[in-house]
Chains A and B, each alone.
Chain A
Amino acid sequence: MSTLRAAWLVAMKDLQLELRTKEILTSTGLFAVLVVTLGSLAFYTDPVSSPNVAPGVLWISILFCGILLIGRSWALERENDAVFGLLLAPIPRASIYVGKTISALILLFTVELLLVPLCLIFFQIEPSGIMLPLFALVFLGSLGFVSTASLFSAVGIRTRARDLMLSVLVFPLVAPALLAAAVATRELFAGATMTEVLGWMRILAAFDLLFIGFGVWVSRHLLAET
């Protein structure tokens, strides 16, 4: 079976589980609303300074929601040792990593569909003309983050210190991508056009390709043994 077909089956299984319980979306969505609300109450002073503050609040929310979401998604695999059911199947090991990344990205992007407008409302940022580039930035930044965090979660199947490893390894690794995303978002909020943030998008896309490629290559070996 091809890696993509197997990855699709793994991702669909995750989404099917989530559609049934809505556990991840509910907990992550509520957390996102809470962080943005607290952030706006704490940092919002006037509409002039808000474009400088809002990107930080937005990306911190995405980061913490992403960690919460990916942690929960892989916890489902550890329950009953279910992941070993996947490892018993004659599918490429990388497909498990790719499948988990796809499902986590879809779920995180669903939360972001709520998070981004909320952030714009709370910080009184004019949405006209920035929605498309903003969602493109959010998608690219999330893809890099999710692909990195999924890779280390896959390692965490065999490690007791999985939460510590996620925090210690993932945050520094994704820091360059998050910084690029936050700066590009700040420029957008300050009135930059899509063309002006295209350079940042290219950096994010390059980071995404690098980490997905690395993840696919490494996950074959990481998931080989328990």
Chain B
Amino acid sequence: MKLDFEEVSVARLAKSYGPTLALAGVDLRFNAGTVTAIQGSNGSGKSTLLWLLAMLALPTRGTIRYGQYGTSHADGLRARIGFVAHQLQLYPGLSGHENLVLAAKLQDIPYAEKRATDLCDALALEEYWNRPVRTYSRGQAQRVSIARALLHEPRLLLMDEPATGLDVKSTASLVELIEQEKQEGAIVIIVTHEAEFANAVADRVLHMDRGRIVEREA
């Protein structure tokens, strides 16, 4: 069963990988219809934060709340979370369209094939959608990954370096798409190194260093 929420909050969130402290007690709140960009140097904990929010990792300490729900409702919450990871999480032997159909079926979306085809059309993927993903450029695969994250109309959209490999035109489309998601009430959280891109899409920009939020910009 899909569970909906209007905000995501984290409290004293920490994550260690062995002796390495990746996230050192972060308190944050993200509201529906907002776009937050997170910046910081390599290893500052940005991606770890996204992985924790996507429930692909468990925190060492602290809590994450999706509205009234905690992570114990993971299955219902996952149906409302979309994630564009830095590693694209696509099967290289399947075509872009097949990857989308598989994801749609796993999301239990009615008319999965049609939904995948519609999204391919909307994101102009039809030129290469029947070729195996291993033949794609980074930018083409990135667009399929973005399409997959949007398949199930997520409330929480997490994007790790979404503009990587995209040309100028595709980046402009991505900015438009993020704005559209925001208008539809999504909570969008983007990790990016590109300050210009962050400023173009985000309502607020957070800076991280050594696992902590060190600066907030409106």
| A pairs with B | yes
- What is A's interface to B at a CB cutoff of 8 Å? 1, 6, 9, 13, 16-17, 20-21, 76, 79-92, 224-226
- Whether B89 contacts A88 by the Cβ 8 Å rule is yes
Residue of A nearest to B2 (CB): A90
User: Separation in Å of the A222 CB from the closest CB of chain B?
Assistant: 12
A9 in complex: contacting residue of B76, B78, B91, B105, CB < 8 Å: B105
A90 close to B108 (CB less than 8 A): yes
A21 partner, pick from B93, B102, B105, B133, beta carbons under 8 A: B93
- Judged by a CB distance under 8 angstroms, whether B94 is at the interface is yes
B91–A76 touching, CB < 8 Å: yes
Residue contact B90 to A90, C-beta cutoff 8 Å? no
What is the chain B residue whose CB lies nearest that of A19?
Answer: B93
Known: A6-B106, A82-B89, A90-B107. A13 touches B94 (CB 8 A): yes
CA distance A225 to B58 in the complex (A): 6
The one of A20, A82, A85, A92 in contact with B75, judged by C-beta atoms closer than 8 angstroms, is A92
Question: Given contacts A13-B94, A76-B93, A226-B51, is CB(A81)–CB(B87) below 8 Å?
Answer: yes
In the bound assembly, the distance between CA atoms of A30 and B90 in angstroms comes to 29
Number of chain B interface residues as a range: 20 to 34
- 16 residue pairs bridging A and B, Cβ less than 8 Å apart: A1-B108, A9-B105, A17-B91, A20-B93, A21-B93, A80-B133, A81-B87, A81-B88, A82-B92, A85-B90, A85-B103, A86-B106, A88-B56, A91-B106, A225-B56, A225-B57
Q: Please give me the residue from chain A that is nearest to B99 by CB atom.
A: A85
Known: A76-B91, A85-B89. A16 touches B106 (CB 8 A): no
Q: How long is the Cα–Cα vector from A168 to B94 in the complex, in angstroms?
A: 33
Interface residues in B84-134 (C-beta closer than 8 Å to A): 85, 87-94, 98-99, 102-103, 105-108, 132-133
Q: Does B148 contact A (CB under 8 A)?
A: yes
A226 touches B56 (CB 8 A): yes
B78 partner, pick from A20, A82, A90, A224, beta carbons under 8 A: A90
Are A81 and B105 closer than 8 Å at their CB atoms? no
Q: A89-B103, A91-B106 are in contact. Are A80 and B90 (CB under 8 A)?
A: yes
Minimum CB–CB distance from A4 to chain B (whole Å) comes to: 14
Interface pair A17/B85, CB less than 8 Å apart: no
Asked whether B81 is an interface residue with its Cβ less than 8 Å from the other chain, the reply is: yes
* Minimum CB–CB distance for B191 against chain A, Å: 16
